[in-house]
Amino acid sequence: MTATGDNFFNAFAIHLQATAVQMGWLMAIPQLFGALLQLLSAWLGNYLPRKPMVVVTAMVQAAVVVLLAALAASRPDNAVRWLIMLAVLYFSCINFIQPQWRAWMGSIVPQRRRGAFFAARTRLTMVASLLVFVGGGILLTLSARADMAWLGFTLLFGIAAIGRAMSARLLALMHDPDPRPHPERRKGFRQSMQQLYQSLHDKTFRDYSFFVAGMQGVVAISAPFFALYMLRDLEFTYLEYSLNAIASIITQFLTLSFWGRFTDRFGNRLVMRFCCLTIPVIPLLWLASPDFYYLLVVQMVSGLVWSGFTLSTANYLYDIRPTKSDFAVYAATQSALGASMVFVGALAGGYIAAGSTQLVIAWQWLSGIGSPLFIVFCVSSGLRAVIAIWFWARAVEPRLRRRPRFLQVIYRVSRFNAISGISLDWLSVTRRNPADADSDSLPSPPNNSVTDNEDTHETDSEHRP
């Protein structure tokens, strides 16, 4: 589903002739609702059994993808508005499932086998998804050549719906060894919100959170418009568009181990500072040449940098949180701030892109630039530099807490798409009690809280060109 569905949301919007402002809304609103639904899911998990929550939501998502296929076939006048609403439901379902699925898998897979299991699972899903992603690009390219792109998108979303329906059925057949919530671990919604607010009182964490959220927000200014630039301005085929995105995704996936060993040896602050210097340059590289192969190299550079940023910022968050604090609170706070800034950034990017054409017309000296979207790329690049400079002096080297080496971290690529790149979902476990080392399994608490005997670190990071 992810390989044939959300990878082509922006391409579908461009096919429906979405305006620049609508492209911004398409990215902004689903991100915000997705973050809210993740918090709601974590809270409801204290009161409702997780398996029905996951299965029912998966079935709802399959129905949403069927509606996307119907939208592609019917092509109503207000199709883009319908697409935005369906995208909100689509990503809300993904984010609602995620906290419950993590806890569920944590209770199923024995602790001593998690590394091998998730490593094999990640390799399998990445290979399958990338192959299907390329297949989707070929299908859309062939249908576009026959002047029937609508049929290609209909088939694409139809295949995605079938995949999700099969997934929902398989989820329903899975065993849940811990089917009921635990009232003794239950937290009130108000208490959770108070903890989120109180977490920002720590200056180091506050600076870090504003840095990551700010960077996500300014990156979102340009993120939706790389697809628009490739498909509309450069007239790439859907296959070329797919290959361009895959170049970044594969690079991110292959370089995670390298960055893991590097951060273990030299620390996370050094990698974060390197990425701070490099991330602002990436949008400017798109201005140098429209050549397809050159842009593949640019995407590889982007994947290398974002892979380091993803890992180092996640590890840094782990290291700066106070001892014996609830890590879930800190992760949720950072996630909520990031989603809010992405919402603001994507909307701002839409309006900047909408005004860039008029700006080029009004200022004749800008007429020589390759595309009006270059203005959006330059604005995003400049603001990235501002965020990087602001954080440079505030990036303190934290007191390193004991945590697993990267090669002992259990991680998976939960999903990826052409705009966001890799969504990295990973879990690290450090046993403090040697007597527990031989335990066959380590069930995750329903509220994802950190107990005195274990440290859990889960994050969902999305990064863009």
Please check the confidence at residue 236 and state whether its pLDDT lies above 60.
yes
Residues 6+ apart with CB under 8 A from 160: 1, 4, 5, 65, 68, 69
Q: According to the model, what pLDDT value does residue 183 have?
A: 66
Please check the confidence at residue 407 and state whether its pLDDT lies above 50.
no
pLDDT tens digits, one per residue of 336-374: 788 889 999 999 999 999 888 777 666 655 555 668 889
The model carries a pTM of: 0.80
Question: 179 vs 229, which has greater pLDDT?
Answer: 229
Mind giving me the DSSP string for 294-317? HHHHHHHHHHHHHHHHHHHHHHHH
Mean pLDDT of 188-198: 64
Q: According to the model, what pLDDT value does residue 138 have?
A: 94
Q: According to the model, what pLDDT value does residue 451 have?
A: 26
Provide the pLDDT confidence category of residue 125 given band limits of 50, 70 and 90.
confident
Three-class SS state of 420:
coil
Give Cα separations from 286 to 61, 234, 350 (angstroms). 35, 12, 19
Q: According to the model, what pLDDT value does residue 35 have?
A: 83
Most confident of 28-42, 261-275, 296-310: 296-310
Provide the pLDDT confidence category of residue 150 given band limits of 50, 70 and 90.
very high
Residue 228 sits at φ, ψ, to 5 deg, of -65, -40
Q: According to the model, what pLDDT value does residue 427 have?
A: 52
Please check the confidence at residue 464 and state whether its pLDDT lies above 60.
no
Residue type, 160: A
Provide the pLDDT confidence category of residue 325 given band limits of 50, 70 and 90.
low
What is the number of other CB atoms lying within 10 angstroms of the CB of residue 464? 24
Provide the pLDDT confidence category of residue 382 given band limits of 50, 70 and 90.
very high
323 burial type by CB count under 10 A (0-12 exposed, 13-18 middle, 19+ buried): exposed
Q: Distance of alpha carbon 109 from its chain centroid, rounded?
A: 24
Provide the pLDDT confidence category of residue 185 given band limits of 50, 70 and 90.
low
Please check the confidence at residue 179 and state whether its pLDDT lies above 80.
no
In the predicted model, what is the mean pLDDT of the chain? 79
**Of 427, 447, 444, 462, which is closest to residue 117 (Cα–Cα)?**
427
Name the token pair of 69.
Answer: 């296929």
Provide the pLDDT confidence category of residue 165 given band limits of 50, 70 and 90.
very high
Please check the confidence at residue 25 and state whether its pLDDT lies above 60.
yes
Mind giving me the DSSP string for 204-227? HHHHHHHHHHHHHHHHHHHTTHHH
Q: According to the model, what pLDDT value does residue 328 have?
A: 61
**Of 407, 442, 409, 463, which is closest to residue 177 (Cα–Cα)?**
442
* Rounded Cα distance, 96 and 103, in Å: 13
pLDDT tens digits, one per residue of 434-454: 443 333 333 333 333 222 223
Give, in degrees to the nearest 5, the angle at Cα 180 between 177 and 182.
Answer: 115
* Rounded Cα distance, 216 and 309, in Å: 11
Q: According to the model, what pLDDT value does residue 351 have?
A: 92
Residue the block writes with tokens 């997705």? 34
Q: According to the model, what pLDDT value does residue 217 have?
A: 92
Which of 67-76, 152-161, 408-417 shows the lowest mean pLDDT across its residues?
408-417
Q: 412 has which bridge partners?
A: 425
The beta-carbon contacts of 329-332 under 8 Å, at least 24 apart in sequence, are: 329/192, 329/195, 329/196, 329/199, 330/199, 330/205, 331/457, 331/458, 331/459, 332/38, 332/39, 332/42, 332/196
Mind giving me the DSSP string for 356-415? HHHHHHH-GGGTTSS-THHHHHHHHHHHHHHHHHHHHTT---PPPPP---GGG-EEEEEE
Which of 18-27, 87-96, 169-178, 402-411 shows the lowest mean pLDDT across its residues?
402-411
Q: How many CA atoms lie within 13 A of 13 on its CB side?
A: 27
Please check the confidence at residue 457 and state whether its pLDDT lies above 80.
no
Which of 119-133, 146-160, 226-240, 316-330 shows the lowest mean pLDDT across its residues?
316-330
- pLDDT exceeding 70 applies to what percent of the chain? 76
Q: How far apart are the first and last CA of the chain?
A: 23
* Rounded Cα distance, 37 and 246, in Å: 28
- Give yes or no for a contact between 333 and 292, defined as CB atoms under 8 angstroms apart: no
Cβ burial 99-121 (10 Å sphere, 16+ → b, else e): bbbbbbbbbbbebeebbeebeee
Domains and CATH numbers, the chain: 6-174+202-429+455-462 (1.20.1250.20)
